[in-house]
């Protein structure tokens, strides 16, 4: 969490660069894209001038520039996409942005890095040391690296780091004092690392209905995992409702007794935890990755080491106060607070650039 004092400052010209794979905000699943939408909307609401570079179909928060996604296509196409982005970057360098907030591929950022524009880079996925070194070694201007959990950046003890958790848009999420649906919920990509198969086994052990909301992943092995581990289990008390957007997601979460998050990997920051808590719904999760930072064990849910412990935790869900879940989300995971933390860093970087400029001027006179 940043701790610098918040001061009244002039409005900023902010360039936000998201990856081009999914639109901002996403129509369905898209964790990072949802956070970039929260940031753009928050910046614009405060009067700042926002330019968004993102995928086609993204929302315009002031100015919108779209660029194509390279993906896993041919070298020729990937080269075209990078060249396309570079052309747009050169145009934006003349637009006079005060600060850049980015989460795209780091090798795309070269024009901005060498131009010395203050840059905040947000790591939404596990951090690749190559990306860190590229940013630190190339940046000619003030740089801040943002992790979405302390666990995510545990291996990076030095450098210009801050931790800013993702957020839930509390203003748009209604609190539910009671679980009206009588089911357990799982929401996310239907992949092995998210643990959809584990959620099914846990639900079957408890005898409670499980509703699964999520998409079949286009990642390698995604379709095979679904066909082998998920589809054969659907039926009876196990229901797959497909991918859902915000218009249905919050009702789905609010009606659940609990959300199961039996992750099988070190997840950097789970948006679904924050959204569930905002609804008042406790979360039962594997004790891995970001989960010990997001869930207050015994207060807003339970942390477990294995499926048996998760099953036992389901039987204790009545011990959790749904109001305590909502209160925790309001205090720790509100979008308003997240936006202000990014603005705090932006102001500090701009001030640092100004101090460096003044020092250079004094040396030349």
CA-closest candidate to residue 62, choices 103, 34, 97? 97
> In this structure, are 241 and 132 located in the same domain?
no
Whole-angstrom Cα distance, residue 355 to residue 288?
A: 42
> In this structure, are 243 and 347 located in the same domain?
no
Looking at 1-15, 92-106, 194-208, which range is the least confident one?
1-15
> In this structure, are 203 and 274 located in the same domain?
yes
285-343 pLDDT tens trace: 999 999 999 999 999 999 999 999 999 999 999 999 999 999 999 999 999 999 999 99
What mean pLDDT comes out for the span 105-122?
Answer: 96
The answer to whether the bond into 25 is cis (omega within 30° of 0) is yes
> In this structure, are 276 and 340 located in the same domain?
no
Confidence of residue 241 (pLDDT cuts 50, 70, 90): very high
295 assigned to some structural domain: yes
Q: Is the pLDDT of residue 344 over 60?
A: yes
Over pLDDT 70: what percentage of the chain? 95
pLDDT of residue 7: 46
pLDDT of residue 198: 97
Whole-angstrom Cα distance, residue 61 to residue 67?
A: 16
2 assigned to some structural domain: no
Pairing verdict, β 184-187 and 210-213: parallel
4 assigned to some structural domain: no
Confidence of residue 6 (pLDDT cuts 50, 70, 90): very low
> In this structure, are 156 and 192 located in the same domain?
no
> In this structure, are 198 and 156 located in the same domain?
no
pLDDT of residue 288: 97
Contact residues for 87 (Cβ-Cβ < 8 A; gap 6+): none
> In this structure, are 41 and 187 located in the same domain?
no
The mean of the pLDDT values for the chain is 93
Phi and psi at 75, nearest 5°, equal: -60, -35
Instruction: Report yes or no: 117 and 99 within 8 Å, Cβ to Cβ.
Output: yes
CA-closest candidate to residue 289, choices 277, 307, 303, 275? 303
Looking at 69-78, 95-104, 248-257, which range is the least confident one?
69-78
Confidence of residue 356 (pLDDT cuts 50, 70, 90): confident
Rg value, the chain, Cα: 22
> In this structure, are 46 and 151 located in the same domain?
yes
8 assigned to some structural domain: no
> In this structure, are 130 and 66 located in the same domain?
yes
CA-closest candidate to residue 323, choices 176, 157, 123, 167? 176
Domain extent, residue 223, equals: 170-331
Over pLDDT 90: what percentage of the chain? 84
Cα-Cα end-to-end distance for the chain: 39
> In this structure, are 250 and 263 located in the same domain?
yes
Q: Is the pLDDT of residue 77 over 80?
A: yes
CA-closest candidate to residue 104, choices 133, 82, 77? 82
Whole-angstrom Cα distance, residue 134 to residue 149?
A: 21
Supply the CATH number for residue 210's domain.
3.40.50.2000
17-65 pLDDT tens trace: 999 999 999 887 778 999 999 999 999 999 999 999 999 999 999 999 9
3 assigned to some structural domain: no
7 assigned to some structural domain: no
pLDDT of residue 157: 80
How far CA 292 is from CA of 30, 185, 265, in Å, comes to: 23, 20, 13
What mean pLDDT comes out for the span 148-153?
Answer: 97
Q: Is the pLDDT of residue 365 over 90?
A: no
Whole-angstrom Cα distance, residue 233 to residue 95?
A: 54
Confidence of residue 9 (pLDDT cuts 50, 70, 90): low
Q: SS3 sequence, the chain?
A: CCCCCCCCCCCCEEEEECCCCCCCCCCCCCHHHHHHHHHHHHHHHCCCEEEEEECCCCCCCCEEEECCCCCCCCHHHHHHHHHHHHHHHHHHHCCCCCEEEECCCHHHHHHHHHHCCCEEEEECCCCCHHHHHHHHHHCCCCEEEEECCCCCCCCCCCCCEEECCCCECHHHCCCCCCCCCCCEEEECCCCCCCCHHHHHHHHHHHCCCEEEECCCCCCCCHHHHHHHHHHHHCECCEEEEECCCHHHHHHHHHHCCEEEECCCCCCCCCHHHHHHHHHCCCEEEECCCCHHHHCCECCCEEEECCHHHHHHHHHCHHHCCHHHHHHHHHHHCEHHHHHHHHHHHHHHHHHHHHHHHHHHHHHHC
pLDDT of residue 346: 97
> In this structure, are 115 and 208 located in the same domain?
no
Q: Is the pLDDT of residue 175 over 50?
A: yes
Q: Is the pLDDT of residue 162 over 90?
A: yes
pLDDT of residue 247: 77
Whole-angstrom Cα distance, residue 6 to residue 341?
A: 9
Whole-angstrom Cα distance, residue 38 to residue 184?
A: 28
pLDDT of residue 85: 93
Residue 95 in tokens: 């637009």
83 assigned to some structural domain: yes
pLDDT of residue 30: 76
Residue scoring higher pLDDT (6 or 324):
324
Q: Is the pLDDT of residue 5 over 70?
A: no
Instruction: Count up the domains in the chain and report the number.
Output: 2
> In this structure, are 194 and 303 located in the same domain?
yes
220 assigned to some structural domain: yes
Phi and psi at 206, nearest 5°, equal: -80, -20
pLDDT of residue 260: 98
């Amino acid at each position: 969490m940043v701790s610098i004092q918040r001061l009244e400052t002039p409005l900023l010209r902010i360039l936000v660069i998201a990856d081009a794979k999914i639109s901002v905000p996403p129509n369905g699943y898209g964790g990072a894209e949802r956070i970039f939408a929260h940031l753009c909307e928050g910046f614009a609401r405060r009067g700042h001038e926002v330019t968004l570079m993102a995928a086609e179909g993204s929302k315009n928060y002031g100015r919108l520039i779209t660029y194509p996604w390279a993906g896993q296509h041919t070298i020729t196409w990937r080269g075209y996409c990078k060249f396309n982005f570079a052309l747009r970057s050169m145009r934006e360098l003349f637009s006079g942005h005060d600060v850049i907030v980015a989460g795209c591929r780091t090798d795309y950022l070269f024009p901005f890095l060498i131009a010395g524009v203050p840059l905040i880079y947000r790591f939404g996925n596990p951090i690749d040391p190559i990306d860190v070194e590229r940013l630190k070694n190339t940046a000619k201007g003030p740089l801040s690296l943002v992790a979405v959990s302390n666990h995510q950046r545990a291996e990076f003890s030095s450098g210009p780091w801050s931790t800013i958790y993702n957020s839930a848009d509390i203003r748009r999420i209604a609190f539910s004092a009671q679980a009206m649906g009588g089911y357990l919920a799982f929401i996310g990509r239907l992949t092995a690392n998210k643990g959809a198969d584990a959620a099914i086994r846990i639900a079957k052990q408890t005898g409670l209905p499980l509703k699964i909301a999520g998409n079949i992943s286009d990642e390698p092995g995604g379709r095979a995992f679904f066909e082998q581990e998920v589809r054969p289990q659907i039926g009876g008390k196990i229901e797959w409702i497909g991918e859902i957007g915000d218009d249905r997601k919050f009702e789905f979460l609010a009606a659940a007794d609990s959300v199961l998050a039996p992750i099988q990997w070190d997840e950097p920051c789970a948006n679904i935890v924050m959204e569930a808590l905002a609804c008042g719904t406790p979360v039962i999760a594997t004790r891995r990755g970001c989960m010990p930072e997001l869930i207050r064990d015994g207060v807003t849910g339970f942390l477990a080491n294995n499926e048996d412990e998760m099953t036992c935790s389901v039987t204790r869900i009545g011990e959790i106060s749904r109001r305590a879940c909502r209160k925790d989300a309001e205090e720790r995971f509100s979008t308003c607070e997240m936006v202000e933390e990014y603005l705090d860093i932006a102001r500090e970087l701009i001030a640092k650039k100004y101090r460096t400029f003044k020092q250079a001027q004094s040396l030349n006179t």
